Structure 1
Amino acid sequence: MEIDELTRPERRVWEAFPRGEEVDLAADGERTVRARVLRSLLLRAPAEDGEIPALRLRGARITGELDLHSAVVTAPVSLRECVFEQTVVLYGAEFRQLALRGCRMPGLWATTVRVDGALRLNDCRVTGPLRLSGARVGGALFLGRAVLDAERGERGPEESGVALRLDHAVIGEDLRAASLTVHGQARLDGMTVTGYVRFDDARFLHPGGPRNTALQAETLTVGTDLHAMRMRAEGRVNLRGATVPGQLNLAYARLSNPGGVALRASSCTAGEFWLREAAPVEGAVNLRRARFDLLHVAPSVLPGEVLLDALAYTTLAPALPAAERLEVLTRDGDGYVPFAYEQLTAAYRHIGDDAAARTVQLAKQRRHRTTLSPHGRLWGHLQDVTVGYGFRPLRAAGWLAGLLLLGAVTFGLHPPRPLKADEAPGFNAFAYALDLLLPIIDFGQEKAYAPEGWYQWLAYLLIVAGWVLATTFVAGVNRTVSRA
């Protein structure tokens, strides 16, 4: 393109490029710049001795298609508050620095783009798909306050509903996308971020049915933290297999996908997972096979259906009574999951609350009882009432005391006959009942006297109950002492 063919604003851009000067057309009456002029300028990259060329343009209306497919652009590019008439094509292109801050465009096709430094898309308004699949960004990726709307603009069938594609992208530093708004699906599958991800105050909006996914981030890998405080998601948030060694923070978030799964974090691994003071989740929560050092979630945040099979954690927060945590386990869509009870028991033992751990184990036995046959449930009820499945040793001691009193009073009023009257010691009702109840104690009363009729059956009952209750009491005490 010859310089004589340029319009006045295009000439200003062309002359400023070799010196890296900014051209501001925001207040200019003539703001139109043809995309092919910018393309020609970037590919030619004219320079002046002692100057660093760069394209710095603000407030332009760019007509035509800016097509830099597979181009190698050596000069930094900064376009601010520009309006593009057509989709920007940067497929397979290479840049040193690229900034499209505050720009408006019908779409951005930048699949497999390479940027040595930062890629800045702050405050952009994109009315079609933003495609960055397989992108390689050496610095940070900025998407703060950007608005992406897949419901507008033209797109192919394969892009239906997808507003942001960052799948398999590699970000050398951070992904900074606070207050990002995405109308449609954001797809981040397999993305790797060396630093942190910031989605604070972001909105991922893809409602319309229980199968709709608002944030698709399977096998996402983050170097430090993923913060999405106050995030709002309408549609499923899918973090299956994500790895976040630091903090996965969804505090104060609002997750909604009625009739479907609102949060899927199965097989997810994170140092800390926070749902602190989040709004009650609308939809199911799937945490199967996830692993966290700290899980910060209140029962009131979790929905009526949770999936917790093989969920592993070390510490639970906030600190709550066992009864409140146990209520969550009754919502498990998989039914009775023994591992969930064992994991909760381990969490209470980790903080030294053995009483709460025993409460969880007792609840586990009661839940297991519901899965048994009728005679198994009957035996379970008997164990529960008498000794609390061995987790209530003092209850066993209470039963022993009650039976001892029953035996002492009954046999005191109706003494059994002596087997050998001339050799029998003097009868003592209390000692006789104690002889029957405690198998390791022998006062000589049981061997010397024989009750008759139904009193004999009472003696048999005391003997059997004594064996069961005494064994349970000793086992319970030993369990408590061994964990102290």
Structure 2
Amino acid sequence: MEIADLTPAERRVWEAFPRGAAVDFRESPDEDPTTGASWGPERTVRGEVLRALLLDGPAQDGEIAGLKLWGARVTGTLHLMYGTIEHPVRLRGCHFEKPPNLYGARIPALVLTDSVLPGLTAGTLRVDGVLRLTCCRISGPVQLAGAKFSGAVFVNKARLGNPGERAEDPVLQLNHTEVGTDIWAVGLVAHGQVRLKGATVAGQVNLDDAQLHHPGDTALHAETLTVGTDLHAMRLKARGRVNLTGSRIPGRLNFAYARLSHPEGQALRASSCVIGELWLREAAPIEGTVNLRRTQLDLLHVPPEVWPEQVRIDGLDYRVLTPHLPAEQRLPLLEREADGYLPYAYEQLTAAYRTVGDEAAARTVQLAKLRRHRRTLPAYARLWGHVQDAAVGYGFRPMRAASWLLLLLCTGTLAFALHHPPALKPSEAPGFNPLFYTLDLLLPIIDFGQEAAFAPHGGYQWLSYLLIATGWVLATTIAAGITRSLSRQ
């Protein structure tokens, strides 16, 4: 391109390029680039001029060339498809008439901070430094699928999509991208789907204070996402599904103070994941189902009031459960399992309590497990289960047996003290002792010689039968409880 073909505004940019000098067309530092469509020719630059500069622009000995532009109106298309750009591109606060096309391009750094764009086509882009879309307003899709960034990706406080409009394509496509350090999206507002499926981020992903709006569909699609450290999403507001299926997050997945809402289905799907810590501290009650099936966690921090009415936790594996609460506050969650009774869920909760040394809570969970299992049994088995529960709490409440024995012992002793049963052989019978006679009836493995020597009649005979039957029941349930206790040890 000949310099004679340039407008005065373009000539300023052309002459500043070899020195890497900045050209600032702004009338004030706080100028709003959304009004850029009305900017006149004195600050308008054609996309083809920028393309010619970046691909074959002038050089100056001893200087480092680069494009550094503020507050320009870029008309036409900045077409750099498959181009190799050797200079950093910094277009801050600019207004683009058409989406730039950087598909397959290679560039040292791309900065579009505070700019307004109708979209960005940059699939398989290679950036040796950072990509900055901070505070950008982009109405169309940002296509970065398959891109590779040696540095970080910044979309802090960016505004993507249009409020009230149903976006057909994801407003931010970072699927299968590779990021050398971090993705910073603090305060991001997206009206449409944000896609991170299959992305690999060496550092962290930060979505603190982000707002993701895609009601009735998936707001964050991050299946098989791999993160080097943490995924922060404190105070995240997500209207739509958050899908992290198969993700690997060795550090912390932090949804503290977040609001997750997808009443139509699963609000949080994090099945088959490997996560260091999952935090939902002081988050709002989740609207929709939570799916954590087959996920492995080291620490799970979720207050009971955060869980929704239905969960899927089959195969969920965690080591520590915080905050530490009585078992009675944790057990209702296991009743919300969509697939019904899951023995492993009770075993996992038991193990978590034993990890922190709360054996009493662990026994409470095991008792709840047996009671829940009882509801799946036939009628005769449920009846026997009720007997064991009432007698000794399936062996987890052994003091109940002592209470029952003491009550029956007192009843029998008093009854037979008031009415001695007649001796079978008066000449050979020992002296009658109502206490030991009752013990003979109650305890099948003890023989004081009283039961065989005396035979009650009428109602007292029925009382003796009752004492014998209950004694056998108590002895059997106590033995079962001892066996269960020893097997736990």
TM category, shorter: over 0.9
- Equivalent runs, 1:189-228 vs 2, <5 Å: 189-207=197-215, 209=216, 212-228=217-233
Amino acid at match of 1:317: T
Contact 1:9/1:31 (8 A) holds in 2: yes
Aligned equivalent of 2:263, options 252, 255, 258: 258
Contact 1:128/1:152 (8 A) holds in 2: no
Q: C-alpha deviations, 1:222-280, integer Å up to 9, x for none?
A: 00011000000001111111111000000000111123211111112211100000011
- TM-fit CA distance, 1:381: 2.1
In 1, Cα distance between equivalents of 2:121 and 2:110: 14
Q: C-alpha deviations, 1:145-194, integer Å up to 9, x for none?
A: 111106799x9xxx714211111111010011100111001111111100
Corresponding residue pairs, total = 477
Aligned equivalent of 1:284, options 277, 280, 289: 289
TM-score (norm 1): 0.94
In 1, Cα distance between equivalents of 2:343 and 2:309: 19
Gaps of 5+ in 1: none
In 2, Cα distance between equivalents of 1:232 and 1:152: 16
- Equivalent runs, 1:60-459 vs 2, <5 Å: 60-149=72-161, 160-207=168-215, 209=216, 212-459=217-464
Contact 1:150/1:161 (8 A) holds in 2: no
Contact 1:397/1:473 (8 A) holds in 2: no
- TM-fit CA distance, 1:304: 1.1
Amino acid at match of 1:319: H
In 1, Cα distance between equivalents of 2:94 and 2:482: 76
Instruction: Give SS of 1:72's match.
Output: coil
In 2, Cα distance between equivalents of 1:354 and 1:436: 35
Contact 1:252/1:279 (8 A) holds in 2: yes
Contact 1:151/1:161 (8 A) holds in 2: no
Q: C-alpha deviations, 1:409-459, integer Å up to 9, x for none?
A: 222223233233222221111011112222343322223323344534433
Instruction: Give SS of 2:470's match.
Output: helix
Which residue in the other structure is 2:6 paired with?
Answer: 6
Contact 2:211/2:236 (8 A) holds in 1: yes
Aligned alpha-carbon RMSD (Å): 2.0
Amino acid at match of 1:194: A
In 2, Cα distance between equivalents of 1:151 and 1:116: 33
Instruction: Give SS of 1:214's match.
Output: strand
Contact 1:92/1:110 (8 A) holds in 2: yes
TM-score (norm 2): 0.93
- The worse-fitting range, judged by mean Cα deviation, of 185-194 and 28-37 is 28-37
- The worse-fitting range, judged by mean Cα deviation, of 456-465 and 52-61 is 456-465
- TM-fit CA distance, 1:483: 7.1
In 2, Cα distance between equivalents of 1:50 and 1:423: 127
Contact 1:150/1:163 (8 A) holds in 2: no
- The worse-fitting range, judged by mean Cα deviation, of 385-394 and 71-80 is 385-394
In 2, Cα distance between equivalents of 1:387 and 1:77: 76
Aligned identity (percent) is: 61
In 2, Cα distance between equivalents of 1:270 and 1:396: 44
In 1, Cα distance between equivalents of 2:68 and 2:391: 82
In 2, Cα distance between equivalents of 1:152 and 1:108: 21
